[in-house]
Amino acid sequence: MLRATTAVLHERRSPRPRWSSVVRITTLGTSHGDHTYCRFNSSSLIEVGGRSYLVDAGEPVNGLMIRAGKTFSALRAVFITHMHEDHVGGLPDLIKALVKYPRETHCVDVFLPDPAGIAPLEGWLRAMNIRRPPDAVALRAVTGPGAVFDDGVMAVRAVPNRHMAGGRLPSYSYIIEAAGRRIAATGDLSADFSDFPAPVREAPCDLCLCEITHYPPEAAVPILATCPIRRMVFNHVHNPWHGPEGEARLIHAFASLPFPVEIAHDGDVFEID
């Protein structure tokens, strides 16, 4: 059973990239800091041009990738928004899968928002006897605002927010450009929503993946109302917004916005074409 599953999911010979203008986002895990009865911790998979990229790697990202039928061989990079366990806790399991079934053609770049996290992660991997060949997975640091990554398919820019200790510890929103589309992944924000990323306020955004746990909707509505957003998807969903009644209350709270608002669930797929 295990052998058959891993053979399918970790095929050594990557399929030839199939270029497509469609950007597909799968919200693998959509909960807040804790798992809930219907949601696991944060992780979102972005697929474009035959490649895939993760924003955040909350537990159990590895299992959710497998359950969603996603091949690890397509994964090119992982971008962690901040060093809270619900966003980074699934990395050891994910890295184990990536080194156990290495790709022959490329290395997976894992970007941590705090350089201080790299050595402890390496130590924890060694303690669990996970050997990490540097040509399979590279641990890298986001060292400040600006360009983080560009592989010719997807470009990622970091915008600092104040979620961690009021901005004293590094925490980022990511602005993502791929296939002529612009996507924002806010990561966790501050309690007054004042650090909602400026690039989303200033230029059109095809899809904004925004957390909805750390601020009240009434703080966000006046700011969002002025943003040129085409589609808003809430993830990192707090307990009050769980279930049909909670979701209805949340949608009602944002009903005045001039763009569509959706609530992500674990395993939902959002396509931009």
Q: Which amino acid is at 138?
A: A
In angstroms, give the least distance from the CB of 190 to Zn ion. Answer: 10
Active site residue 188: no
Tokens of 51: 């490649």
Q: Which stretch binds Zn ion (CB under 5 A): 78-86, 173-181, 223-231, 240-248?
A: 78-86
DSSP E strands, the chain: 23-29, 43-48, 51-55, 75-79, 108-112, 137-141, 146-150, 154-160, 172-178, 181-185, 207-212, 232-237, 261-263, 268-272
CA dihedral (25, 28, 33, 36) positive or negative:
positive
- 167 or 204, CB closer to Zn ion? 167
Please count the residues of this chain forming the interface with Zn ion, following the rule CB under 5 A.
3
The SS3 call for residue 221 is helix
The residue number whose beta carbon is nearest to Zn ion equals: 84
- Shortest distance in whole angstroms from residue 58 CB to Zn ion: 8
**Catalytic member of 86, 109, 206, 266:** 86
Which of 7-15, 77-85, 126-134, 254-262 is the region at the interface with Zn ion (rule: CB under 5 A)? 77-85
Please give the DSSP secondary-structure letter assigned to residue 92: H
CA atoms of 46 and 27, how far apart (whole Å): 9
CB 87 within 8 A of CB 56: yes
User: Closer to Zn ion at the Cβ: 84 or 157?
Assistant: 84
Nearest to 196 by CA among 211, 182, 183: 211
Cβ nearer to Zn ion, comparing 14 with 36 = 36
CB of 189 to Zn ion, least distance (A): 9
Report strand pairing: 51-55 vs 261-263: unpaired
Q: Does 56 bind Zn ion (CB under 5 A)?
A: no
d(CA 266, CA 31): 8
What span, in angstroms and rounded, lies between the C-alpha atoms of 210 and 189? 9
160 to 199: interface string for Zn ion, x by CB under 5 A: ----------------------------x-----------
**Interaction with Zn ion in 79-98: which residues (CB under 5 A)?**
84, 86
Minimum gap (Å) between residue 209 Cβ and Zn ion? 13
DSSP 49: T
As measured in angstroms, the least distance from the Cβ of 167 to Zn ion is 13
Asked if 26 and 45 count as a contact pair (C-beta separation under 8 A), the reply is yes
Q: Which is nearer to Zn ion, 87 or 132 (CB)?
A: 87
Of the two residues 86 and 93, which places its CB atom closer to Zn ion in the complex? 86
Is 86 or 195 the residue whose CB approaches Zn ion more closely? 86
* Distance of closest approach, residue 192 Cβ to Zn ion, in angstroms: 15
Cα gap 234→231, rounded to integer Å = 10
Q: Which residues make up the interface to Zn ion (CB under 5 A)?
A: 84, 86, 188
Task: Give the active site residues.
Answer: 86
